[in-house]
Amino acid sequence: MEGSIPKELWTLSSLRLIDFDRNRLIGSIQSEIGNLRHLEWFDADQNKLTGKLPNVFTNLTNLQTMDISSNRFEGQIPDTLWQSNVDNFFITLNDVVGTVPADFCSVGKQIKVDESNWFAISPKVDCSCCSEGQCYVWDFNLDIEHIQCPSDNIITFDYFVQYQVTDTVANETVEHIIGPKGSSANLCLSPTGCYDVNFQMAMVESGKADKNVVFSLGRKVGGEGLAVVKNNETDVCIAVNVCGEMIGEHHKKRAGLNHLTQLAAPDLSKLGDKDSATYKALCDVITKDEMYDEYQICDGTLLQRYVLLYFYYSQKLNFDFLDLATNHTCMWPGVSCDSSNTFIKRLDLSNTNLSGSIITQIGLLRTLEEIDLSNNTFVGTIDPALYIDLPDLKIVRLGTNKFAGTFPRELLEYGKIRDFNISRNLFVGSLPEDILYSKDLSKFIVTFALLLK
């Protein structure tokens, strides 16, 4: 569904359940939602809703569950929410801020907010009773973090009541308990990682587990990805050869290697190709980087260092890594960072004679606000993976290249986009009549030249 939530909905005072999840709804949630005094369940996660949440939650006396994760809400979480009877509240992957009061936390409540430091100096929402943010294992169904995960690295299984996955290298465990019902876990794991998995597979009428499934996942010798390790195989976590250096289970850089192969370098066959950008970038970061210890896994700073190196190598940029190895990532070519000199805000490599296609791993740099790759000779299409998870993106300049295909319409729907230039390329088609433009029209600049067919 597209468009905004019709205001007439808020006049249906007998409504008890509203489920709008996984659509393309825009606009805000109006304060008139407070009229729905019988409402028990409101689910609108994974839409494009914006604005501030209305401060009317004390009117919703029967509301038990509210899930508005994966939208574009902003501002302070209303005080009336903490004074309400809501037991299940999920608001991850938004731009809201606030503090969950200690007296709101109680046994039986489920609260999920953005309280990790993934690409953030500090959590957006402080919560003393929320589960810790995970940075080694993600379950997409839990909306713990919004990340791009290579499809080959997604492991799926059905479970009842609970599951538990332990990263044996990082010594971190992610666990989810959902009560007496079934669900699916869609986990993003590393092809070089080592994991113990424990979950209940079914329930019997008595309410007890029918079968408890326990197994280990690891990389097979000579294999390219994860596989179930049989009971008679004692070497669960084999060493990985990176540029001639064996990175074993207890190597100080194994957790970092696992993280990079999990999100940005999933094709392990490239570890044997010395001419590939993957090989060169991993070799530099894992075996040559003098500043490796300055960067962290759980805040994304190690990842962004690798992504930049991978981009430089993929575009055959003229540089010597030894000149970069002693410099902070924010001092690298084309990069501008935030005021804390931590996270990349701007990538400007315009007029640098770059060619080829753009790597989609740039889309992992979640704090990017500006991309300027204009006046080069890039080719190919613009994959949505390049920008779909960049919530703060404001400026996109890709003009005077050789991009082809249909233009990226989703970019025009980003609420913060104000400068969008794809002129002088080889795009085809016409601007669709139903396009939903950025809300900041007063500052919005669209420049394109389409070859109509």
Question: pLDDT tens digits for 73-114?
Answer: 999 999 999 999 898 888 887 889 999 888 887 766 778 887
Could you state, in order of their start, the residue ranges of all structural domains in the chain? 1-132, 334-453
- Paired strand residues for 66: 42, 89
- Residue for token digits 């669900």? 183
Could you report the per-residue pLDDT of 273-328, keeping only the tens digit for each?
999 999 999 999 999 999 999 999 989 999 999 999 999 999 998 889 999 999 99
Tell whether the model's pLDDT for residue 343 goes beyond 90.
yes
> What's the confidence (pLDDT) of residue 90?
86
Determine the Cα–Cα distance for residues 339 and 334; give it in Å rounded to an integer: 16
* Three-state secondary-structure class, residue 89: strand
Q: Which fold has domain 1-132?
A: 3.80.10
Percent of the chain scored above 90 by pLDDT?
A: 49
Count other Cβ atoms within 10 Å, centred on residue 145: 22
The dihedral formed by the CA atoms of 103, 109, 113 and 116, expressed in degrees to the nearest 10: 90
Average pLDDT, the chain: 85
Single out the residue of 228, 186, 175, 178 nearest to residue 203, CA to CA. Answer: 178
Residue 205 binned pLDDT confidence (cut-offs 50, 70, 90): low
Q: Regarding beta strands 72-76 and 41-43, do their DSSP bridges make them parallel or antiparallel, or are they unpaired?
A: unpaired
Identical fold for domains 1-132 and 334-453, yes or no, is: yes
Lowest mean pLDDT among 12-16, 142-146, 402-406: 142-146
Q: Across the beta sheet with 402-405, what order do the strands follow? A: 355-356, 377-380, 402-405, 426-427
At residue 431, the pLDDT reads 64
Report pLDDT for 450: 44
Average pLDDT over residues 400-417: 80
Single-letter amino acid, residue 341: N
Interatomic CA distance for residues 414 and 374, integer angstroms: 20
Confidence at residue 240, expressed as pLDDT on a 0 to 100 scale: 92
Specify whether the CB–CB gap between 185 and 176 falls below 8 A: yes
Q: At 46, is the pLDDT very low, low, confident or very high (cuts 50, 70, 90)? A: confident
Q: What percent of the chain has pLDDT over 70?
A: 85
Distance CA 385, CA 378 (A): 17
CA pair distance 316, 311, nearest whole angstrom: 8
Does pLDDT of 230 surpass 70? no
Residue bearing the bigger pLDDT, 351 or 405: 351
pLDDT in tens, 145-194: 567 889 889 988 888 777 889 999 998 888 776 655 677 888 899 999 99
Dist CA 452 CA 430 (whole Å): 6
Top pLDDT among 364 and 178 is at: 364
Which CATH code fits 334-453? 3.80.10.10
Gap between the Cα atoms of 298 and 117, Å rounded? 7
Secondary structure (DSSP) of 242-283 = ETTEEE-TT-TTHHHHHHHHHHT---GGGGG-TTSHHHHHHH
One-character DSSP codes across 280-338? HHHHIIIII-TTGGG--STTSHHHHHHHHHHHHHHTT----HHHHTTS-GGGSTTEEE-
Q: Which pLDDT belongs to residue 441?
A: 43
In angstroms, the Cα distances linking 175 to 19, 166, 178, 228, 430 are 26, 9, 10, 20, 48
Cβ-proximal residues to 232 (8 Å cutoff; 6+ apart), any chain: none
Could you tell me which residue, 94 or 332, shows the higher pLDDT?
332
**Residue 107 DSSP class:** T
Q: Provide the pLDDT confidence category of residue 69 given band limits of 50, 70 and 90.
A: confident
Strands 344-348 and 335-337: antiparallel
What number of residues does the chain have? 453
81: enclosing H helix or E strand: helix 79-82
Q: Between 21 and 312, name the one with better pLDDT.
A: 312
pLDDT at 418 over 90: no
Out of 18-22, 83-87, 198-202, 408-412, pick the least confident: 408-412
pLDDT band for 224, please (50, 70, 90 cuts). low
